[in-house]
Amino acid sequence: MSKKKTGKTEFVRWFGPILDSLRALSGSAKPKEIMRWIGEQHNIPDEVLNERYEKTGLLRFQNQLAWARQYLVWEELLSASKYGVWALTSKGWETHLNEHQANEIFYKWVKVFQNLRKDKTSETVDAEAEKIIKIQEEADPDLSKNKLKPTLMEILQNLSPPAFEQLCGRLLREYDFENVEFSPSTSQDGGIDGLATLKLNSFVNINVFFQCKRFADVVPIDKIHAFMLLMDAQPRNIEKGVFITTGSFPKAALEIERHNPRLDLIDGDQLVEMFEKVELGVSPRIVFEPDLPFFEQYLGKTPPS
């Protein structure tokens, strides 16, 4: 897709120069070194280098490079360093980008984010791009609360039923389940049920029956009753049943769980925590915020006479 000449996607033009600068700087460098190299090689005047966004006060050029770097990380051209050093990957060493190719990368990721969001709209990709550009002008890419990427829950709820169930199978393996197997899906069920073995210790294994369902809201109680019937109908002895959902459970379902030690209910909040605990499909991010009680002791202090 060709770029609209609005002037608002200016940060895309720096995709190629960032790669060029890192090749010239032996493959890795601090952001300031990269800014200096690009500024000199592209004859960028001081007033442009020091221009700030009126709304946020961020340096425009610095912020544009930071966002360009983020797309290059997603494209696996730069490594995702946590220590403020930008570095080329082996793919990045071999990649040279012109503005057209850079723009294609930008729109590729616009489409990815648009497709992953839970609430799809009929807006064009260009309209989605305008939203993303506005976000980028308002926030540093390292801020944890930027709205560019969909949340984990949005992604989970937007997966197809088979994909969600396969992903839950992967999650179970991360939690030491073995012999995870799925039964064929049915049109009535809208998904697939699975069996797995959980090794408790060197002597004891238990058979676990699980079901994975995407719900945006509350799981109907009849789904829990049906799950219990399916569990009882299994030919092998089932010691535990696990119902996994992106939604929440009604009080009646939680009451059933409380009185039935064979049943475990995993709601959307618990599911996200499980992904985060084993860092499956998510990356931790540390954000430093001022400790206001600490600084309170220094406020209002008068200098000694």
Express as a percent the part of the chain with pLDDT over 90.
44
Q: Are residues 209 and 122 in the same domain?
A: no
Residues 221-266: tens digit of each pLDDT = 999 999 988 888 877 788 899 999 999 999 999 999 999 999 999 9
What integer pLDDT is reported at residue 304 of this predicted model?
A: 63
Of 18 and 133, which is predicted with more confidence? 18
Find tokens 């696990």 and name the residue.
242
- Give the confidence band of 186 by pLDDT, cuts at 50, 70, 90: very low
What integer pLDDT is reported at residue 171 of this predicted model?
A: 94
Express as a percent the part of the chain with pLDDT over 70.
81
- Residue 191 reports pLDDT greater than 50: no
Is 303 a member of any domain?
no
- For residues 17-32, give the mean pLDDT: 94
Q: Are residues 125 and 28 in the same domain?
A: yes
- Residue 12 reports pLDDT greater than 50: yes
For residue 26, what are the CA distances in angstroms to 29, 51, 192?
A: 8, 29, 51
Q: Are residues 93 and 171 in the same domain?
A: no
Q: Are residues 122 and 198 in the same domain?
A: no
Last residue of a domain, one of 113, 131, 150: 150
Residues 106-137: tens digit of each pLDDT = 988 888 877 776 555 556 777 777 777 777 76
Last residue of a domain, one of 99, 122, 150: 150
Q: Which tokens hold the place of 305?
A: 């006479």
Is 252 a member of any domain?
yes
Of 190 and 59, which is predicted with more confidence? 59
pTM: 0.61
Residues 136-165: tens digit of each pLDDT = 766 666 653 455 667 888 889 888 888 898
| Inter-residue long-range contacts of 103-111, CB under 8 Å, 24+ positions, other chains counted | 103/1, 103/2, 103/3, 103/9, 103/12, 104/1, 105/12, 105/15, 105/71, 105/75, 106/9, 106/12, 106/15, 106/71, 107/1, 107/3, 109/71, 109/74, 109/75
What integer pLDDT is reported at residue 8 of this predicted model?
A: 52
- Residue 4 reports pLDDT greater than 90: no
Task: Please say whether the dihedral angle defined by the alpha carbons of residues 82, 85, 91 and 97, taken in this order, is positive or negative.
Answer: positive
For residue 143, what are the CA distances in angstroms to 66, 134, 140, 219, 277?
A: 11, 15, 6, 34, 21
Is 79 a member of any domain?
yes
CATH number at residue 63: 1.10.10
Is 288 a member of any domain?
no
Contact 136, 11 (CB under 8 A): yes
Q: Are residues 136 and 167 in the same domain?
A: no
CATH number at residue 161: 3.40.1350.10
Residues 54-97: tens digit of each pLDDT = 776 678 888 889 989 989 998 999 987 766 889 999 999 999 99
Is 4 a member of any domain?
no
Is 299 a member of any domain?
no
- Residue 35 reports pLDDT greater than 70: yes
- Give the confidence band of 6 by pLDDT, cuts at 50, 70, 90: very low
- For residues 272-300, give the mean pLDDT: 78
Is 34 a member of any domain?
yes
Is 304 a member of any domain?
no
Q: Are residues 128 and 145 in the same domain?
A: yes
Q: Are residues 242 and 210 in the same domain?
A: yes
The domain tally of the chain equals 2
Q: Are residues 122 and 180 in the same domain?
A: no
Q: Are residues 134 and 161 in the same domain?
A: no
Q: Are residues 144 and 191 in the same domain?
A: no
Q: Are residues 198 and 239 in the same domain?
A: yes
Q: Are residues 140 and 168 in the same domain?
A: no
Last residue of a domain, one of 84, 119, 150: 150
Q: Which domain holds residue 20?
A: 10-150
What integer pLDDT is reported at residue 219 of this predicted model?
A: 93
